[in-house]
Structure 1
Amino acid sequence: MGELNVYGVYVPILLIQAVLTYVVLRVLMRVLDRVVEQGWIPLPNIFYLCIYLVLLWLMHWGFIVCWG
C-alpha cells in the first residue's frame, strides 16, 4: 500500500489502519466486557487479541477495496 506524507513525515498506511482498528476494538470491548464478566469467555486477553487481528484484517481489506 505504501505510506502517506504528512508534512514531510512518512506515515505507513498500516499504522493508520492499526490505530483505527484499535479505536474500533476499544468500543467493541465495552460491549464485550459484559460477556466476559458473566464468564462466557474463559481467556479474554487471547479473545481480544484474536478480535483485534480479525478487525485489522477487515480494515486492511476495506482499505484495499476502497482505494486499491
Structure 2
Amino acid sequence: MGELNAYGIYIPVFLIQAICAYIVFKLVSIFTDSWIDKGWIALPGLFNLCLYIILLMGVHEVFLVFWGI
C-alpha cells in the first residue's frame, strides 16, 4: 500500500480508504435501514458488517485503478 506524508505525519492509505468506505456506508445505510425495520434482514449486525467490507473492497479497487497506489 503505502503512506502519505502530510507535514511530517505519515497517514496510511488504507486509513483513508476506510474513512471513505465509512462515509459511503453511512449514505447507503439510509436505504438499507428501511429493510431492517421491515424485517427483511434477519441478522442486521452481520449484514452491516458485510456491507461495509464490500464497500471497503470497492473503495480499495477505485484507489488502485485511479491512483495506482
Same fold (TM over 0.5): yes
Match of 2:6, as an amino acid? V
Match of 1:37, as an amino acid? D
Q: Which residue of 2 is the match for residue 63 of structure 1? A: 63
SS at match of 2:66: helix
Alignment of 1:1-68 (within 5 A): 1-68=1-68
Q: Which runs of 5+ in 2 are unaligned?
A: none
TM-score (norm 1): 0.96
TM-score (norm 2): 0.94
Aligned residues: 68
In structure 2, C-alpha distance between the alignment counterparts of 1:29 and 1:6, rounded to whole Å: 31
Deviation at 1:38, TM superposition (A): 0.3
SS at match of 1:40: coil
